[in-house]
């Protein structure tokens, strides 16, 4: 079909916690509202990698889940690099955000290799960073979510952060950066799910995919009163 957008959910079996599945649902529904036909591809270790993909979405996971998918992720790394470098929009949360960096060295000292799309590294820290989080970003305004991670992520020279922390810990609880950006790839620690409360980001992913595929994007008017109300409530919650 002419107006299809193919969405790939990376590792839903092992990397999908704290409501991350909601990101996929939000992109699917909003894509529909903007006039597209979303087609979902779920990719788990060992599956055949779909031939054509317009948007990639991946979630968080426990260290053990990250271990399970590591080998497969390294195997499909060339395909993901190719997609990233041809400006395919992607959203990676927490555990997969970490593994889109160079590596995650866990607290017990073992290293889970990443695929290096982001110039960053992650080290298991002494305590978990848990709670509601708000950041500010140039492109998306205030980004609102929930974080729960022990990994502390440090951006390398060439990495660009997604936002600055207003409330919460962010990448490492020290430098006030949160997330990373590379071309149209977004990495972030924010669960929640992220996209229902940050529809601007969902529409950005859809817009980038549509422009890449069809050369244009005409946004439809969407009634976002519920999303705005959710943002308001989330903003008023304590850390
Ligand atoms: N296991 C990783 C950490 O604790 C990622 C956690 C997550 O995805 N929420 O840092």
Domains, the chain, ordered by start = 4-236 (3.40.50.880)
**Residue 2 has what pLDDT?**
79
Per-residue pLDDT of the chain (239 residues; tens, 9 = 90+): 679 999 999 999 999 998 899 999 999 999 999 999 999 999 999 999 999 999 999 999 999 999 999 999 999 999 999 999 999 999 999 999 999 999 999 999 999 999 999 999 999 999 999 999 999 999 999 999 999 999 999 999 999 999 999 999 999 999 999 999 999 999 999 998 999 999 999 999 999 999 999 999 999 999 999 999 999 999 998 88
User: 20, 60, 67, 188: which to mutate for ligand 1, most atoms within 8 A of CB?
Assistant: 60
Please state the atom number of ligand 1 nearest to the C-alpha of residue 59.
8
**Alpha carbons 220 and 181: distance in angstroms, whole number:** 26
User: 18, 110, 147, 148: which to mutate for ligand 1, most atoms within 8 A of CB?
Assistant: 148
Judge if the beta carbon of residue 60 lies within 6 A of ligand 1. yes
**Alpha carbons 171 and 151: distance in angstroms, whole number:** 8
Phi, psi of 120 (to 5 degrees): -160, 160
For 190, the 3-state DSSP assignment is coil
- pTM for this model (two decimals): 0.97
Judge if the beta carbon of residue 59 lies within 6 A of ligand 1. no
Nearest residue to 145 (alpha-carbon basis) of 182, 197, 186, 77: 197
For 199, the 3-state DSSP assignment is helix
Active site amino acids: 94, 191
Contact residues for 118 (Cβ-Cβ < 8 A; gap 6+): 97, 100, 101, 102, 155, 159, 180, 182, 185, 187
Which residue in the block uniquely carries the two structure tokens 């190719």?
Answer: 82
Judge if the beta carbon of residue 19 lies within 6 A of ligand 1. no
Ligand 1: centre distance to CA 3 (Å): 36
Nearest residue to 56 (alpha-carbon basis) of 35, 86, 33: 86
**Alpha carbons 215 and 232: distance in angstroms, whole number:** 35
**Residue 1 has what pLDDT?**
63
Report the relative pairing of strands 185-188 and 90-93 from DSSP bridges.
Answer: parallel
Judge if the beta carbon of residue 148 lies within 6 A of ligand 1. yes
**Residue 238 has what pLDDT?**
86
């Amino acid at each position: 079909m002419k107006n299809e957008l193919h969405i790939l959910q990376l590792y839903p079996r092992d990397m999908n916690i704290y409501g991350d599945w909601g990101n996929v649902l939000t992109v699917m529904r909003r894509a529909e509202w903007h006039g597209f036909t979303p087609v979902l591809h779920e990719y788990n270790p060992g599956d055949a990698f779909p031939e054509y993909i317009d948007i990639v979405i991946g979630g968080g996971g426990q260290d053990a889940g990250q271990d399970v998918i590591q080998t497969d992720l390294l195997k499909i790394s060339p395909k993901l690099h190719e997609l990233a470098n041809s400006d395919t929009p992607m959203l990676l949360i927490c555990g997969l955000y970490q593994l889109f960096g160079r590596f995650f060295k866990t607290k017990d000292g073992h290293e889970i290799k990443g695929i290096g799309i982001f110039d960053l590294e992650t080290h298991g820290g002494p305590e978990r960073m848990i709670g509601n989080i708000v950041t500010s970003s140039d492109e998306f305004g205030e980004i609102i979510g929930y974080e729960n991670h022990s990994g502390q992520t440090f951006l390398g020279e060439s990495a660009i952060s997604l936002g600055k922390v207003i409330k919460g810990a962010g990448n490492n609880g020290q430098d006030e950066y949160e997330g990373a950006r590379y071309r149209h790839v977004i990495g972030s620690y924010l669960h929640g799910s992220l996209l229902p409360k940050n529809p601007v980001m969902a529409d950005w992913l859809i817009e980038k995919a549509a422009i890449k595929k069809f050369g244009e994007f005409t946004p439809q008017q969407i009634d976002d009163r519920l999303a705005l109300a959710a943002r308001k409530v989330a903003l008023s919650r304590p850390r």
